Amino acid sequence: MRIHLLLGALGVAAVAGTLALRPGSPDAPPPPSSALAPPADIGHLILQLEGDVRALQVVHLTPKPSAFNPTYRPSPFSIDLYDQAGNRLGSYPLDLSRFDTDPLRVGQPLRVEGCEVRDPHIAMLANIPYLPDACSIRICRGDKELGRLENVDYQRMLTAGVNR
């Protein structure tokens, strides 16, 4: 009879009546209901710069997938990015503190003090963000331009870097 189901259930429950309660999981903060599209942050470029304090050129660049990681190092030197219309898209400090930036020493051999090398020949890596609209790179000391990479060469190096 049906009543036996209920009564049987009650009997079983009486035996097994000490079921443990399961604690609830803590509520995690819900995600946003919507979000604007993130900025077009598709990585960064490693520039290889060569030259001296009077003339400094980009000789190679290597695209990287990770986002640009800015570095706070105040410097009178900068790498500036420009778009096709000549608008400056960004300016990033260029740290030349490990080099001999005395213009009078340009072309001279490196000097060693203790175990520190001071070389007027600049050869270094520098990071900049990859900005899709950028088409030229200018290396500056204040308002003075030390070198630039124009669109054709920029695109060629970008492609060469990607293909490596």
Partner 1 sequence: MSALRTALAFTGTVLLLGTTLTAQTVKTIVNNGSSANRYDIVILGDGYQASEQSRFDSDCLAVVGKLFATEPYKSYALYFNVHTVFRASKDSGADHPDVSPPIVKDTVYDASYNTGGTPRCLYIKNTSQALRDAALAPAAEGRVMVVVNDSRYGGCAGQFAVTYNGSSMTEVQAHEFGHSFAGLADEYDYPNNTYTGPEPAARNITADPTGKAKWPLWLGTSGVSAYEGAGYYLKGLFRPKSNCLMRNLGQPLCPVCGEQIVLSAYATVTPIDNPLPTASTLSADRGVKLGFSFTNLVPVSGNGLVTWKIDGTPQSSSGNQLTVDTGTLAYGIHKIEVEVLDRTPFVRNDPNGLPRKTRTWTLNVSTQLPDLSAFYLQTYPATAGGNTSIVTVVQNLGPVSSPAVQVEHFLSVDKVISPDDIYLGGITQPPIAPNAVVAPNRDPVRIPAHVAPGVYNLGVVIDRADAVKEIDETNNVLWIPLAISKAGCIADLGYADQVYPPKANTLVGKTGGSVHPTVTAPCNAGDTYAILLGCTGTTPGTPLGGLNLPLNVDACTRVFFAASLGSTLVTGFVGTLDSGGYGRGAINLPPAVATGTLTGHFAAVVIDRTTGAFVRVTDAVQFTFQ
Which tokens hold the place of 94?
């260029």
Which amino acid makes up residue 72? Y
Residue number with CB closer to partner 1 (16 or 104): 16
Q: Which is nearer to partner 1, 75 or 84 (CB)?
A: 75
By CB under 8 A, name the binding residues for partner 1.
1-10, 12-14, 16-17, 19, 28-39, 44, 46, 48, 50, 59-60, 62, 64, 66-73, 95, 97-99, 109-119, 123-127, 164
* Sequence-distant contacts of 86-92: CB under 8 A, at least 24 apart: 89/131, 89/133, 89/134, 90/128, 90/129, 90/131, 90/134, 92/126, 92/127, 92/128, 92/129
Report the residue number, 36 or 85, with the smaller CB distance to partner 1.
36
CB of 97 to partner 1, least distance (A): 6
Minimum CB–partner distance for residue 121 and partner 1 (Å): 8
> Which residues 6+ apart lie within 8 Å of 122 measured at CB?
49, 50, 51, 52, 53, 56, 96, 99
Q: Which is nearer to partner 1, 27 or 143 (CB)?
A: 27
Intra-chain end-to-end CA distance of the chain, in Å: 81
Tell me how far, at minimum, the Cβ of 120 lies from partner 1, in Å. 11
CB of 103 to partner 1, least distance (A): 18
